[in-house]
Amino acid sequence: MFSPKDTHTVLKRLTALFLFVGALWLIQAFNSASNYALNRAFGLIPRDLTGLDGVLGMPFLHVSYEHLISNTAPLVMMGALLAATATRALVRVNTIIVVLGGVLVWLLGSHARHIGASGLIFGWFGFLVARGLVDRSPVTLASSAAIAVIYGSMVWGVLPGQEGISWEAHLFGCFAGVVAALVVRSHVHAPRMRNVEKW
């Protein structure tokens, strides 16, 4: 079972997750009301210095409410798994996903304005799946299996295909998540066998 300290940490992370998702909806409301001025100002434009700030801005921006709705469920689902089973270096994990994934899109992506939290979602997907294989604890393996079963079809999103979809953000976000799982090696913050007496 969760210790009181573990429970407190999970609740803090869940609170941060819902504040983040809430902020995305507030930003979308302002963006929509301003005829999507934020997308024009802070969208990521590959190999364009004026679009470099989109490395950090891209995850907060969406092209429509439908776009944000499609991203909200996986953000909550994977974010909740991260909150319950994440390493103690979650800030580093997210930094690697956002910065490395975004920089690769800026360097190698097609010339368009890239926006949306799907790069972050694919980063979490890559991290959760790869971390299970790297850490091999029952908790991380179980979360990897759950994500693979529920969102396994996401892997097709890293391939060129549907027009208007930033497959580059998906591909490089997923790659950055795998890198984060390999680079950030820390204990899973979840109940483990260390608290159980052996007979």
Please count the other Cβ atoms lying within 10 Å of the Cβ belonging to residue 111. 10
> In this structure, are residues 64 and 116 in contact, taking their beta carbons and an 8 Å threshold?
no
Max mean pLDDT among 60-69, 156-165, 184-193 falls in: 60-69
> In this structure, are residues 97 and 180 in contact, taking their beta carbons and an 8 Å threshold?
yes
Domain-by-domain residue ranges, the chain?
A: 4-195
What predicted TM-score, i.e. pTM, was given to this entire model?
0.87
Whole-angstrom distance, CA of residue 125 vs CA of residue 128:
5
Question: Lowest-pLDDT range, 10-14, 58-62, 96-100, 143-147?
Answer: 143-147
Q: What is the overall mean pLDDT for the chain?
A: 87
Max mean pLDDT among 53-57, 109-113, 145-149, 151-155 falls in: 53-57
Could you name the CATH architecture of 4-195?
Answer: Up-down Bundle (1.20)
The predicted structure's pLDDT at residue 6 = 76
The predicted structure's pLDDT at residue 186 = 61
Whole-angstrom distance, CA of residue 60 vs CA of residue 189:
27
